[in-house]
Amino acid sequence: MQHKSVSSPYILKFTPPLRGEGQPLAQLSVAVKDLFHIAGYPTTAGNPDWCSTHAIPKTTSPIVTALQNNGASIVGKTITDELAYSLNGQNIHYGTPINPRNSALLPGGSSSGSAVAVAQGSADIGLGTDTGGSIRVPASYNGLFGLRPSHGVLSTEHMVGLAPSFDTVGWMTRDLVTLSKVANVLLTALEQKPIGQIVRLGYSREINSACAQQSSINKVLDTTKTKASLTWVELSSVLNFSNLEEVAGAFRTLQGAEIWATHGQWIEKHQPTFAADIAARFEWCRGITPKQQHQALTIQHQFKQQIDKVFALVDFVVLPTTPGRAPALNLNDADLARYRNTLLSMTCIAGMAGLPQLHLPLQEELNEPMGISIIGAKYHDHQLLEFAKTFLDLM
């Protein structure tokens, strides 16, 4: 089966009236990734075989309910990569949503439909999930703001999971104000502490220099380094590709082991049809050994210790979100696989340590969006968003 592009990012489209006058999310519309259950409607998880072998949900995701209870209107369920196991945004069954910023580029996944719905203006909020980068990557490719909250803060009940130790609920918007409104509604369990008058920011010269948006990031650094309220700390001794490639390898192993524990029995029983690259990854997951898991857990433990030391030196870390613009739709499989490995070396930082990460678009090239991220200490999600407002003003 070949990938085909589709103009609509939706699996199911609803037409509810915008509502919620006087509520925090009044008049805001939400596109929901088709992993979240909505009572009375099927959840496809991006695969028809999944849909046909699972009953229609009777209970709605508490995240969807919370958004509705605060005034938001659900306008549809959106296309996702199959079982959320890809960062490309492609789907051989339901189609690849067209990137509104550049139709020749991938939309990014696995929250592809939610990202495209927001980028094209048919929704204000794109609800998705992020295990290995599935909020941050499509936000970058579509020129959006995107938040992966701290792991474990938001409920993943009544949705199709992938790897529970890494799965997070996240969302994308066209502006930081709307994104923050959603955070105020959903992240009520986290304390809102003020940020200090002088903020310490970490960065990696090595990672910055290897990315396509290097010149834009350098402009940001040069502009903000003159601000008395900011101090910068170079972190290439920890945040370098040699170290992060090992961490990303451990992430893939731990994620893969959990994926097989989550979905392996269903795959063996029903023999679903997957895209070739996704099928190959599931088959790889099948073969992960306990020894490999143990080695990966050791690397994760050591990395978390390194990250704890980093956040003793800085308040936030500023890094490129992706290696650059979205890959071309027609990029060959070998080059796409190599790109994926580099991408995971960047997204694994927040994933392995359970940290909140916010993507900020850099408006340099209208048709090739890319951007930077601010990563915060775990459970400092509100402080991260508060600082982002200040940081954007300084830029």
Read off the DSSP letter of residue 83: G
**Of 21 and 56, which is predicted with more confidence?**
56
Is 193 an annotated catalytic residue? no
- pLDDT digit string, tens, across residues 258-309: 999 999 999 999 999 999 999 999 999 999 999 999 999 999 999 999 999 9
Comparing 222 with 37, the larger pLDDT belongs to 37
Q: CA-CA distance, 232 to 88, in Å (whole number)?
A: 33
Looking at 33, 77, 181, 378, which residue is catalytic? 33
Give pLDDT tens digits for 140-168. 999 999 999 999 999 999 999 999 999 99
- Work out the pLDDT band at 1, boundaries 50, 70, 90: low
Task: Return the higher-pLDDT residue of 195 and 110.
Answer: 110
Average pLDDT over residues 175-196: 94
Contact 100, 122 (CB under 8 A): no
For residue 68, give the nearest of 135, 129, 11, 18 by alpha carbon. 18
For 44-81, write each residue's pLDDT tens digit.
999 999 999 999 999 999 999 999 999 999 999 999 99
For the chain, give the percent of residues with pLDDT over 70.
98
- The pLDDT of residue 393 is 86
Q: What is the mean pLDDT of residues 3-15?
A: 92
**Res 381: pLDDT:** 98
Q: Note whether 21 and 248 are within 8 A (CB).
A: no
Q: How confident is the model at residue 2 (pLDDT cuts 50, 70, 90)?
A: low
> What is the DSSP code (8-state) at residue 60?
-
Tell me what the mean pLDDT of segment 101-108 comes to.
96
Q: For the residues of 161-182, what is the DSSP string, one character each?
A: -S-TTT-EEEEEESSHHHHHHH
Mean pLDDT of the chain: 95
Q: Let me know if 150 is a catalytic residue.
A: no
Residue 363: which pLDDT band, with cuts at 50, 70 and 90? Answer: low
Span 189-210, mean pLDDT? 92
Q: Which of 54-68, 109-123, 173-187, 329-343 has the lowest mean pLDDT?
A: 329-343
CB 32 within 8 A of CB 16: no
Residue 6's pLDDT is what? 94
| Residue-wise DSSP of 217-234 | HHHHHHHHTT-TTEEEEE
Per-residue confidence band for 228, with pLDDT thresholds at 50, 70 and 90: confident
Question: Model-level pTM?
Answer: 0.97
Residue 3 pLDDT > 70 = yes
pLDDT tens digits, 233-248: 999 999 999 999 999 9
Q: How confident is the model at residue 192 (pLDDT cuts 50, 70, 90)?
A: confident
Given the DSSP bridges, would you call strands 168-173 and 145-148 parallel, antiparallel or unpaired?
antiparallel
pLDDT above 90: percentage of residues in the chain: 87
pLDDT beyond 70 at 365 = no
* Of 8, 29, 86, 110, catalytic: 110
Query: d(Cα 64, Cα 381) in Å, to the nearest integer?
Result: 20
- What per-residue confidence (pLDDT) applies to 207? 96
Q: 41-56 burial, b for 16+ CB within 10 Å, e for fewer?
A: bbbbbbbebbbeeeee
